[in-house]
Structure 1
Amino acid sequence: MPVTSVVKDSEALSLTVHAEFPVKVSRLWDAYLDARQLEKFWGPVEYPATFTRHDATPGGRSNYHMTSPEGEEFHGYWIWNEVVEHKFFEVSDGFAHADGTPNPDLPLNRMVFSFDPTPEGSKLTITAVFDSAEDLEQVVAMGMIDG
């Protein structure tokens, strides 16, 4: 993903990623809603993602894992809260156990993916909002800014 900036806001308990793409919003939107396309760019390059479920509709669920270079799997999930086609979608984003059940020992956050047209293509803004400063700092320490 061609990231242009990552902003950590400790007061707002948020982490915001800005990325720009040389494609229309509709093309970028389609890539996020198609699990096979999303796997090509979700997470760090060294930790490829595999989506085993991707129900991109309010009330839907996505299950995925990222695999480390050593073969270790790190599981996560999204619960889809709201979807406005070609504009934004909101998910509850959490860590999971290997069986897909939520891991309550790790932070949960709310992520909003906003899609905006630009003269060169489109801009994606992903804002993750956490319940506490501790939760934000924990995911930063786990590498969320680099990923």
Structure 2
Amino acid sequence: MPTPEPRPRWAAWALAAYLLAAGALLLSPIGPGRILGALVAWVQHDLGVEDFRQGWIEVPANVVLFIPLGFLLALLLRRAWVSVLLSVTVSFVAELLQLQLSDRLSSVRDIAANSAGAVIGAAVAWMLMKRSSRLHGDRSAETARSD
């Protein structure tokens, strides 16, 4: 019976760094909406794409923001579904806390986009863990055959 691979120490450090950076971004009293608003104005006025909307940037950015959380939690917990559940909870709590900040907006769309990112990250981690366990199991089988 193959022994499970140890949890990667780098993933714990990466998760800590991610949580600090994401917490600062998500809970900053100055929302990224100002930056996005300036970017949208530039695209609309200077580039002439008048139909361009803030959501075209905001939704993909929220997806990308939560991919590392889903990925790192899945690596550390070894359960993709638990990773997704925790990531959705983090997103929900962040949106609730944003309700208390005057310059921030909270939305269900953000929770959905964040959740999608967590699912993508957890799925990638799950595929890598499956591949790794298959390779680890194959090496154990080869060692057993050679004895």
Structure holding more strand per residue: 1
Which one has more relative contact order, counting CA pairs under 8 Å at least 6 apart? 2
Structure holding more helix per residue: 2
Task: State the TM-score, normalized to the length of structure 2.
Answer: 0.23
Task: State the TM-score, normalized to the length of structure 1.
Answer: 0.23
Larger Rg: 2
